Amino acid sequence: MLATPGKLPEDETAWTFEIKWDGVRALSYVEGGTLQLESRNLLDITPRYPELAALPAGLQGHDAILDGEVVTFDDEGRPSFGRLQHRMHVTDSRQVQHLMVEYPIAYLVFDVLWLDGRSLMAEPLDDRRAALEGLGLDEGGPPWQVSKAFPGQGHALLAATKERGLEGVVAKRRDSTYEPGRRSRCWLKVKNVNRQEVVIGGWLEGSGNRSGRIGALLVGYWEGDRLRFAGKVGTGFTDQVLAGLAERLASLDRPTSPFADPVPWKGAHWVEPVLVADVEFTEWTAAGTLRHPSYKGLRSDKASRDVVREPT
């Protein structure tokens, strides 16, 4: 179940509110003492996060399907999508073991969909939360915990997240059922900063200290069957990130632009529009492009065709 971009609801008493964690979504399937983690595009991501292998023991014999978010934190205790990039694309077990120490993760659980042989998806959110909080997951401590809910406190939580420099909040109707695969208005994401997922359709060569390397990404979003051009992204990269992007894009070369709109830069290198990036920006321009976009990372948990322009 996915959230729809929106504003805080007027009647906050009918809603509960949670921090919008800047991580990646993960469903956990626990049965018979075994664990499988699955991304929102149905990839098995269990090997990437071996510190969650003890989650079945944390459930104290219960079988369950849990919904939550895998997050890393910065030195000030704020979720960092940039740090998570070091974990979310690595599958080699030796590399993962090394990265576990430098970039530890937490699994923040916010819903339970199935428990001990019974589906809870048709139950109201309040009842699912009660079942989740009765599982004793917080007693295990890191690397998992139940994401705290704040019933009726939307404005207060949004103000607190803004003060802390966090992305925003998710509002959920307390009587809502769980609608798998659907972007529902029963869940609303309310942001302090503008974020947009974009499709990489090409790149421009850099100059100066980026000479011979990627200088900027050319990005867009889908509008039906057309990939609309949304501008170029030239900030937010480290040398390591640029090297990784160059390696990923090298195998995706194509001779023509994938964009439906003209791109106002000559000498662009075009790529198949399959990679999805996350960017932060100030606003959409009248021409329909992103103003001052900054690269945050790649999203392996999102299919290119699912990327559309989100309202701000």
Residues marked active site are found at 20
d(CA 219, CA 198): 6
Q: Of the candidates 125, 168, 121, 184, which has an alpha carbon nearest to the alpha carbon of residue 18?
A: 168
Question: DSSP character for 100?
Answer: H
3-state helix, strand, coil in the chain (%, to 5): 25, 40, 40
Q: Of the candidates 69, 21, 63, 62, which has an alpha carbon nearest to the alpha carbon of residue 45?
A: 69
Given a contact cutoff of 8 angstroms between Cβ atoms, the answer to whether 143 and 104 are in contact is yes
Q: How far apart are the first and last CA of the chain?
A: 21
Give how far Cα 7 sits from Cα of 11, 12, 79, 129, 312, Å: 12, 11, 22, 23, 9
- 171 backbone φψ class: left, alpha, beta (φ>0; ψ -120 to 50): beta
d(CA 85, CA 34): 26
d(CA 305, CA 273): 9
Going by their DSSP bridges, the two strands 118-119 and 64-71 should be labelled as unpaired
Write the DSSP string, 22-85: SSEEEEEEEETTEEEEE-TTS-B-GGG-GGGTTHHHHTTT--EEEEEEEE-B-TTS-B-HHHHH
- 182 backbone φψ class: left, alpha, beta (φ>0; ψ -120 to 50): beta
d(CA 79, CA 70): 10
